[in-house]
Amino acid sequence: MSLALPQSVLPHPSTAPALNWGILGPGWIASQFATSLKELTKSKLAAIGSRTLARSEDFARTYGDDGTRAYGSYAQVLEDPAVDVLYIAVPHSGHAELALQAIAAGKHVLVEKPLSLNAQQSAQIVQAAKAAGVFAMEAMWSRLLPIGNVVSQVIASGMLGQIITVQADFGAKFPVDYESRIYDPALGGGALLDMGIYPIAFSAMVSPAKQLLHASGRLAKTGVDASFTAVLANEDGSTATVFSSIETESPQSAWIAGTEGTLELQRPICCGSGLVLRSADGNIVDSREFTETSPAAGLGWEAAHVAQCIADGLAESPVMPLAQSLAIAQTMDEIAARLRA
């Protein structure tokens, strides 16, 4: 089989059906989502909800349009009949509760990653969505970008041969502020849930994890994981080494090594800037750059994916299925338990 990078087969987000979105939580990632929604898609920001009306009003003025409604509670967004789908962008600790409330209200949901704090909560979301017949997805936008589509095609093609190893990391140095969300265990702080999910999900895209072989790391004085390394045995016989940290900058890259070739994803792993394909002897045979390297430039692709899935009558994404979100949550639970043992 010849080694060459395929073209992304994703249609531009502007071709997806239009939806009326409600956003819960007017924070930074919500601002990036709203910006991308406006710039890349035909969908509208119908409503924004916060526990503080003034914050919602400011968000609506900045990122919405004349028709965007600002609410001083999350419940009002859930009750808005004009809202088709909800993007849940509150801190991790609030994901499960609001997702379950939204599902009970009959709303489709896109939940910012991680889907919840643990596998038990994630299972509750999955079960509730299936019972209600509404669409639900964890917002793993990496897979829904053009670069994610190309990586998926390379994996599915088998051009790399038998996969031997996956290496993936995502470390960034955060200010040491023990009062901040990232260091707060009650808000789901730490490297694992906030950033480690990216390399773990990358490995799961190559092959599901079969067993956690090793996990070690450092805990901050607040009890959250500051850095960790984990080694996974995958179902395809490969091993994966994943690293994440909130106390040091890492290459933020990933690679898949097989018997016939290697695929390298260049920084940052969450929205890679490029791919490099190497032959078995290490020579570069193909490469490509990508431009969706920020949330504002990329989150519209996952919004468009959600819109198309809903239009097609799907209750979950074929690219980021609920079973895989649950499996990733279970892997993270096992890593967390090892780190705190």
Answer yes or no: do 228 and 148 share one domain: yes
- Single residue among 140, 163, 188 that ends a domain in this structure: 140
Residue with tokens 């490469």: 287
- Single residue among 117, 140, 163 that ends a domain in this structure: 140
CA angle 201–311–63, rounded 5-degree value: 70
Identify the CA nearest to 105 among candidates 74, 142, 139, 146.
74
Distance CA(5)–CA(277), nearest Å, equals: 7
Distance CA(228)–CA(335), nearest Å, equals: 9
Whether the Cβ atoms of residue 265 and residue 151 lie closer than 8 Å to each other = yes
Domain that holds residue 208: 142-307+314-339
User: CATH number for the domain including 243?
Assistant: 3.30.360.10
Q: Any bridge partners for residue 48, and if so which?
A: 23, 70
Answer yes or no: do 134 and 148 share one domain: no
Answer yes or no: do 75 and 205 share one domain: no
* DSSP annotation string for 239-256: EEEEEEESSS-----EEE
- Single residue among 93, 121, 140 that ends a domain in this structure: 140
Answer yes or no: do 236 and 300 share one domain: yes
Predicted model pTM: 0.96
pLDDT tens string, the chain, 341 residues long: the values are: 689 999 999 999 999 999 999 999 999 999 999 999 999 999 999 999 999 999 999 999 999 999 999 999 999 999 999 999 999 999 999 999 999 999 999 999 999 999 999 999 999 999 999 999 999 999 999 999 999 999 999 999 999 999 999 999 999 999 999 999 999 999 999 999 999 999 999 999 999 999 999 999 999 999 999 999 999 999 999 999 999 999 999 999 999 999 999 999 999 999 999 999 999 999 999 999 999 999 999 999 999 999 999 999 999 999 999 999 999 999 999 999 999 98
